[in-house]
Amino acid sequence: MSYLDWPRLHFKGRFQADTSTVNNDVRHYKSDAFEPQFQAMMVGHGQGQGQAQRTNGYWNPEGSGAWRLVHCRITSAVLASKTITSARADPVVGMRIAGSDDRVAGKLVDLDPQQQAVSQIWGLRVALEDDRNVRLFDGHYDVGTFSNLWKRQQIPANFDQTLAAAFQSQVNHVQWSEDLSHSEALSALRAACNDGPLSICFNTFGFDREPSAPDYTTGVVAGTIGPATPAEPKHFVLGRQLVAPLRDGNPTAPLHGVYSFTCVVHAGARVLSADMGNCLPILHADGTLQDVGELSLAVAKRHDVAAGDRVGGRELAMIGTIPYQRPLWYERTAGVIDLPYGHDGWLSENIGGHPVLLVRAAPADTYDVLVRETADGLYVRADSHVCRLNPGQAAEVTLYGTRFGTPHGMALSLSADNSLIGGAGTGATLNPERWPVPDVGVPASALSYPATLELGPDGKGKLELSASESGPGCPRGYLDGQVYGVGYRIQNTPSNYIENPWNFVSCLLWDAWAVPDEPTWYRDIGPILSQYGNLYPIMSRHLVDLGDYDSVVKHRQSLIFCFELPVSDPNSMPVSRDLSDNKRQGILRWLKNVGPDGLPAKGTPEDRPKASAPSHTLAGAAGVSPQARPQERPPDPGGMLDYLNEVLKQQRGRLTKGGDES
Amino acid sequence: MIRIDPKWVEGLQSSRSREELYLYLQKAIELEHSTIPPYLTAYYSLKPGLNDGIGNLLRSIVIEEMLHMTIAANILVSIGGAPSINGPGFVPRYPGPLPMGIGGKDFVVPIAAFSLPLVKGTFMVIEEPEEPIPVGTLRAQPPHYRTIGEFYDALKEKLRGLDPSAFGHVDRQVVGAFSKDQNFPIKCADTACQAIDIIVRQGEGSAVDPFEAPGEPAHYYRFGEICYGSKLIRGQDGGFLYGGAPIAFVSDGVFPMKENPTADQFPRGTFGRLLSDNFTEGYRNLLNALHLAFNGEPERISAALGLMYQLRLLAQRLMGTPLEADALPTAGPVYTAE
């Protein structure tokens, strides 16, 4: 079961992502070269203004990392037999989807400045609240990572983030209100959950990064909540996977304008449910869906139909049209649609073994295929695909193989895949580039995993990723550890097989660091904390100056409190969740070991470690003077889109050089 | 604290049962809480890095007010009561009078940025001892009304009159959030009275010594240090004067926050409104966390501490945001439980 089952609730509203942006550029981690203006708001932002001068600390240098649901309301409830869209029919419609009411907001966290495409929400609570602030349910959001990042907004304005993505996860430890009898939908949802978790997926888009705009730091969120079972994947739906072909290999640019999405066939009810909440292009930040023609879901009678083909109606079994241009359609459904197919005998018999297609009506009973289900219905995905590893530590990632949505045993190949990680983090930044950008994924030997993996008949397999005892060995010099991408592929896929480019595991491996018996500020702790002080000016300006011994020791008790919290706690420090266990232990030991003066040891400035440089750097990224940069402005200076373009450019460079990732 | 509506002291004195004390302890919690929003706002309004001397004094007072609130709540828990911290009316309406008629019925406490007149005209009135010890040119006013000191004295007497078995519920009390010698479990009348003595001593000092601990003047005198710009010291003649190390006040080092902000300080749908709502929601969450902490889940105090950090960030971001573009004054925090 998942949010694509029944009963389900749809909601829409806004979210706030008050992320700090100083850490978007990896070079800002180089503490000995950090400049005060890197904590300042960028100058000359906005598209098409032609006056950009400096990226500085980008669009929100004082961000707190908070991630909140804002003004989100239930827009409809869908039961197996009916859809409810008014509060008169069921009071759940109009109720608020809220966050925590007794602790701080959740946090949005990048894995690393060189892997910003798997951002996660930590410490979020998800609750349903009525007008009297009574909570009908309240639970803990399991850390969710966004996926299927693509350039969804077609007309950029101001400084909108035109990329969109979806977060799927579960809400655990759900507390239900004793009395749900007034709401049929809630009673049914609780019964379907059977004391288990809820499945939740929400789509985020239209994010506004313009500091003078009313919607600054907020975007639109539309999502779905349904029943879940602990046994199923948390972060994707085991279903029919339609994967969009890409333009020039760019993972954010679907070739035919519509992105990848998932469907589920409910064979018993003879209904196909599709989640189109993140795949349809929008015109503006408000989410107005672009008219891309009359869209339908269909099943191909032949297996060799490809996206981009124009096919005759007789080659398809039509399931139903997508009324995405109907007023309030998206608002009330978050893009999830149920299409019965029992009317068609062929479909009833064959839907389980033929590819599902998204087609657009063309003249004379023909259809253009925009997206199709993977070849032979084969698909594999890692459930949690983000790992943070201390030296000597191992992580287990569960992989699920399916064929036409059904668990399917298969053989996988695993190999390094750094194609979507790396780079400076902000793309062609407008800050002067005076120091090198580290390369990622090196040394490869620090992360081990099998070259192949067999998924059993239940479609499941456990991939163990192990960090070496010695760790990566500070390959990036000025920031801890290294990031690695691990690709997993089905062996012997058909030649027309299209992969989802986001299906790889991202790992952050921390460097080995021996906890000193008697840590001192200058030698051990200052270098760690002052880097955080540089990157999160909101802390240094308003709470504690992490680069200043006196300020740090003055707030000793508060820091002990925050560094001791479990990382799952939204108050855990650092907010970026990028601190190795040993460094955390060292900081705590230092904070707690006070000398006769009642203060942690300071040491002497001479003990300061020497700044180290990355051992592997990206050719062409280092030492380029600002004057030597092209004069034209990138389309999204410092932004995710530009960052991805840069990563892709570098990747192509690597490939043409025959690969230099050893 | 001076001037309290006599009905509270008299009512307390005439109470006859443990259950009747619940109301008065609840009132004590509300009273101790009621000073936190105005003190906190003044503290938040000091720009980071400027006015640190004043900031440290304000911070120390706010923390002690939180301790006092904790003590009152622990005593109520100890004798079997259930503190109510997130109910309607728990947060007083600002600007407005404090609970129990503190300072007299015409005494109005605002939510305002730090200023010397605010400290002198409001905070020192709130904290004024029954008989202030003359400091420098200050002279005490003769007391002719019921005082908060009397209220706490009466409370101590009533607690001593309870059967020892009335005290307990140690596992439901919040302990360890402050230093051990100040935040200990309330197990009996003695520990309850010791804890109340801390409230009174930190707030008012003793009748002969304005210092509640070495180098730590009681609240009234700490505010005096701010007003007179110098640490309180004992003079050569044995008297007290504000003549120690200077406590500088940089008037530019205060956010120009508009007094008594309200929820509609920004129109709906604006970024400013989001910031404002975030603060109000954060404060409400803080009260919810405290309510849970004093109603059987003491470990929730950790979430409350976390919220305190977030509230400071949110308040200062608000105070740095002009109500109208490129103009003064700036916005401020709105405290309400509703």
Residue A641: pLDDT band (50, 70, 90) is low
Using the Cβ of A129 and the Cβ atoms of chain B, whether some distance falls under 8 Å is answered with no
- In this complex, the residue of A102, A213, A562 whose CB is nearest that of residue B289 is A102
Q: Å from A56 to nearest chain B CA?
A: 20
Using the Cβ of A538 and the Cβ atoms of chain B, whether some distance falls under 8 Å is answered with yes
Cβ proximity of A437 and A649 under 8 Å? no
Using the Cβ of A541 and the Cβ atoms of chain B, whether some distance falls under 8 Å is answered with yes
Residue B138: pLDDT band (50, 70, 90) is very low
pLDDT of A508 > 50? The answer is yes
Residue A648: pLDDT band (50, 70, 90) is low
B chain contacts of residue A104, beta-carbon cutoff 8 Å = 282, 285, 303, 306-307, 309-310
Residues 214-233 of A with CB under 8 A from B: 214-218
pLDDT of A624 > 90? The answer is no
B/e letters for B150-174, b = 16+ CB within 10 Å, e = fewer, are bbbbbbbebbeebeeebbbbbebbb
Question: Cβ contact (<8 Å) for B285 and A102?
Answer: yes
pLDDT value, residue A434: 66
A chain contacts of residue B282, beta-carbon cutoff 8 Å = 104
Average pLDDT over residues A54-64: 87
**Which residue is it, tokens 């001892």?**
B129
pLDDT of A46 > 80? The answer is no
Range with the poorest average pLDDT among A233-237, A504-508, A597-601, B177-181:
B177-181
Cβ proximity of A395 and A387 under 8 Å? yes
- In this complex, the residue of B274, B312, B317 whose CB is nearest that of residue A543 is B312
pLDDT of A627 > 50? The answer is no
pLDDT value, residue A612: 79
pLDDT value, residue B234: 86
pLDDT value, residue A445: 97
In order of start, what are the domains of chain B with their CATH numbers? 6-260 (1.20.1260.10)
pLDDT of B53 > 80? The answer is yes
Substitution target from B310, B319, B324, B336 for chain A, most A beta carbons within 10 A: B310
Substitution target from B313, B316, B317 for chain A, most A beta carbons within 10 A: B313
SS3 B121: helix
Residue B279: pLDDT band (50, 70, 90) is very high
Residue A130 has φ and ψ, to the nearest 5°, of -90, -175
Q: What is the spatial distance between Cα A361 and Cα A296, in angstroms, rounded to a whole number?
A: 8
Using the Cβ of B88 and the Cβ atoms of chain A, whether some distance falls under 8 Å is answered with no
- pLDDT of A166-181, one tens digit each? 999 999 999 999 989 8
pLDDT of A429 > 60? The answer is no
Residue A616: pLDDT band (50, 70, 90) is confident
pLDDT value, residue A295: 98
Residues 203-262 of B with CB under 8 A from A: none
pLDDT value, residue A660: 32
Q: Chain B residue closest to A132 (CA)?
A: B338
Beta strands in A475-544 (DSSP E): 482-490, 504-509
Q: Å from B23 to nearest chain A CA?
A: 25
Q: Å from A356 to nearest chain B CA?
A: 41
Question: Cβ contact (<8 Å) for B285 and A104?
Answer: yes
Sign of CA dihedral B28, B29, B32, B38: negative
Greatest pairwise CA separation for chain A in angstroms: 89
CA distances from A90 to A9, A180, A459, B163 (A): 12, 11, 39, 53
**What fold characterizes domain A377-513+633-656?**
Immunoglobulin-like (2.60.40)
Average pLDDT over residues B261-272: 93
pLDDT value, residue B239: 85
Average pLDDT over residues B247-268: 94
- pLDDT of A268-316, one tens digit each? 999 999 999 999 999 999 999 999 999 999 999 999 999 999 999 999 9
A428 vs B313, higher pLDDT: B313
Residue among A443, A445, A446 nearest A393 (CA) = A446
Average pLDDT over residues A237-251: 96
pLDDT value, residue B141: 42
Question: Cβ contact (<8 Å) for B309 and A105?
Answer: no
B149 vs A652, higher pLDDT: B149
Using the Cβ of B313 and the Cβ atoms of chain A, whether some distance falls under 8 Å is answered with yes
Which token pair is A373?
Answer: 């289900």
B219 vs B207, higher pLDDT: B219
A98: β partners: A127
Q: What is the spatial distance between Cα B110 and Cα B334, in angstroms, rounded to a whole number?
A: 11
Question: Cβ contact (<8 Å) for A101 and B302?
Answer: no
Average pLDDT over residues A335-354: 96
Q: What is the spatial distance between Cα A172 and Cα A357, in angstroms, rounded to a whole number?
A: 34
- pLDDT of A474-487, one tens digit each? 999 999 999 999 99
Average pLDDT over residues A565-571: 94
The conformation of residue A339, written as its DSSP 8-state character, comes to E
Q: What is the spatial distance between Cα A80 and Cα A43, in angstroms, rounded to a whole number?
A: 53
CA distances from B256 to A402, A550, B93, B251, B279 (A): 61, 28, 22, 10, 18
Beta strands in A408-537 (DSSP E): 410-416, 447-448, 452-455, 460-467, 482-490, 504-509
Using the Cβ of A133 and the Cβ atoms of chain B, whether some distance falls under 8 Å is answered with no
Substitution target from A39, A72, A104, A210 for chain B, most B beta carbons within 10 A: A104
Q: Indicate the pairing of strand A163-176 with strand A135-141.
A: antiparallel
Q: Chain B residue closest to A107 (CA)?
A: B310
pLDDT value, residue A652: 57
Residue among A113, A220, A235 nearest A161 (CA) = A220
Residue among B31, B24, B83, B32 nearest B296 (CA) = B83
Percentage, residues of chain A above pLDDT 90: 81
Sign of CA dihedral A69, A561, A175, A264: positive
Question: Cβ contact (<8 Å) for B271 and A561?
Answer: no
pLDDT value, residue B140: 40
pLDDT value, residue B50: 85
Cβ proximity of A99 and A124 under 8 Å? yes
Residue A642: pLDDT band (50, 70, 90) is low
Q: Chain A residue closest to B306 (CA)?
A: A571
Average pLDDT over residues A430-455: 88
- In this complex, the residue of B274, B289, B316 whose CB is nearest that of residue A70 is B274
A chain contacts of residue B269, beta-carbon cutoff 8 Å = 214
| Cis-peptide into B298, omega within 30 deg | no
Range with the poorest average pLDDT among A598-612, B182-196, B204-218:
B204-218
| Cis-peptide into B142, omega within 30 deg | no
pLDDT of A659 > 70? The answer is no
Question: Cβ contact (<8 Å) for A542 and B307?
Answer: no
The conformation of residue A31, written as its DSSP 8-state character, comes to G
Instruction: Write the burial class of residue B137 (CB in 10 Å: 0-12 exposed, 13-18 middle, 19+ buried).
Output: exposed
pLDDT of B143 > 60? The answer is no
Residues 267-296 of B with CB under 8 A from A: 269-271, 274, 278, 282, 284-285, 288-289, 292
Average pLDDT over residues B110-126: 95
Q: What is the mean pLDDT of chain A?
A: 91
A chain contacts of residue B300, beta-carbon cutoff 8 Å = 102
